[in-house]
Amino acid sequence: MKQRNKGQCFVCDSFGMHDKLRTYEDNKVSAFLSYNPVTRGHSCVFWKDHVLFSSLSKRDTQYLVDVTTRISRVLKKVFGSDSINRLNYNFDNETPHAYFELIPIYHNEVERTGFYYFIPNRKKTESFEELTELAGKVGDSLETLFS
């Protein structure tokens, strides 16, 4: 696996830039509240090393899914959402990180069309300070769950 290089990858650079929004980190993954959330509690979980999702080993894939599932449960509890949509990304060579976005779904805020949810354009209502406080609450809950 290719190691992270500062200045060459916006995801790697974000690991340091968004320390206050970090909710979980270990030697393999890092999770943050999104600084531009689609819904309240919108989070991102990145595999730290440069590796495409399709190239993760079976063990690492299972690890990422397990961590993401735990984080999803905490997000649902902390934010009181009805469910969590989990989207996985397989970026290209410019941003080669296995990556999940966790988007809490609040049924009173979305329209459902078949299997898909339509989330109307949401105005960001949380300030950075509020997001930082929310990240602390999620992080505290995750610390308990992972310890």
Does the pTM exceed 0.95? no
pLDDT digits (tens, 9 = 90+) for 83-102: 898 888 766 655 678 889 99
Gap between the Cα atoms of 125 and 123, Å rounded: 6
Beta partners for 102? 43, 86
Beta partners for 53? none
**Alpha helices, H only, 28-127:** 58-79
Residue 47 has pLDDT above 60, yes or no: yes
Domains of the chain as residue ranges with CATH: 10-137 (3.30.428.10)
Of the candidates 66, 64, 70, the one whose C-alpha atom is nearest the C-alpha of residue 52 is 64
* DSSP element (H, E) containing 134: helix 128-146
Residue 121 has pLDDT above 60, yes or no: no
